[in-house]
Structure 1
Amino acid sequence: MTEIRERTLAGLSAGDSFRLTRTFTEQETLAFGQISRDQNPVHYSDDFAMAKNLNGKICHGLLVGGMITEVGGQIGWLASGMNFRFRRPVYFGDTITCEFTITEVEPGNRARAEATLSNQQGEIVIEAWLTGILPGDKEREIMAGLA
């Protein structure tokens, strides 16, 4: 059982924060392009990417932003909204750290969260704002049995 899941089973509240780190590869981008059908040449052609004033091919923004869903999946977050601001490109081999913080919990376990994803230089590459529903007692009980 992950540390994130263990913390979830104990109950979550505003201020709880989670951190993940992941290095992105060209192979992941190719696979994501097949699944999403996003064939933008900026992900496949260095020449095209450089014509866009980038240093070479970049990862799909939603592939990188998907780190948020890794946290959400571990806590059993049922998403109702996600807003992204893509601030910098992510290149193959970049190591990204996602900081996911629950900012508000309302009655009925409705919640808000913010996430900041930064590269290995500490530069923010994505900011995100999320809404959703946290698991209640019954859901956490079921999650405990899935371990």
Structure 2
Amino acid sequence: MIKPGDIFREEKTFLRDEVRHFAEITGDTGRHHMEEDDKGRVMVHGLLTASIGTKIGGGLHFIARELTSEFLRPVFSGDTVTCELEILTVEKEEARQLVSLRSSYRNQNGKEVLRGTSIGVILNH
């Protein structure tokens, strides 16, 4: 059972091929995602970066109803990003729990690249 103050973490290193596949799936083939910079990197889509948090949410069986994201810095292929998700509130109802949370994503240099909040439900089984 989750409770306010619980913290979950997940880490991911983004690969060039993942960015290409995400571009193919979404149709977002902006130049910055497709053409390498002078360091041989491409910019990772913001929503692909945010997907680290969805892995945590999936493990909690969290169904998002509202998501707010603030994209602070670019993420590039080869970067390793850690998402830290904190449970803020849990309201128990008969068939579900109403949950609010906040997330912070940091790159391998400790710089925050993305932050967000979410409200959703976890169904009781």
The TM-score, its normalising length taken from structure 2, stands at 0.91
Which whole-Å CA distance do the structure 2 matches of 1:38 and 1:121 have between them? 27
Which whole-Å CA distance do the structure 1 matches of 2:41 and 2:16 have between them? 12
Paired residue secondary structure (2:19): helix
Structure 1: state its 5+ residue gaps: 1-10, 139-147
Which whole-Å CA distance do the structure 1 matches of 2:52 and 2:42 have between them? 20
Q: Which ranges of 4 or more aligned residues in structure 1 deviate by more than 2 Å?
A: none
Which whole-Å CA distance do the structure 1 matches of 2:109 and 2:84 have between them? 15
Which whole-Å CA distance do the structure 2 matches of 1:77 and 1:127 have between them? 18
Contact 1:111 1:131 in 2 (8 A): yes
**Percentage of pairs with the same residue:** 31
Corresponding residue number in structure 1 for 2:62: 77
Contact 1:111 1:132 in 2 (8 A): yes
Corresponding residue number in structure 2 for 1:28: 18
Corresponding residue number in structure 2 for 1:132: 120
What's the C-alpha RMSD, in Å, of the aligned pairs? 1.6
Number of corresponding residues: 121
The TM-score, its normalising length taken from structure 1, stands at 0.78
Corresponding residue number in structure 2 for 1:117: 105
Of the two, which has the highest radius of gyration?
Answer: 1
Which whole-Å CA distance do the structure 2 matches of 1:88 and 1:56 have between them? 15
Which whole-Å CA distance do the structure 2 matches of 1:126 and 1:12 have between them? 24
Contact 1:75 1:135 in 2 (8 A): no
Corresponding residue number in structure 2 for 1:12: 2
- The within-5 A match list for 1:29-48 is 29-46=19-36
Corresponding residue number in structure 2 for 1:90: 75
The structure with the greater share of residues assigned to strand is: 2
The structure with the greater share of residues assigned to helix is: 1
Structure 2: state its 5+ residue gaps: none
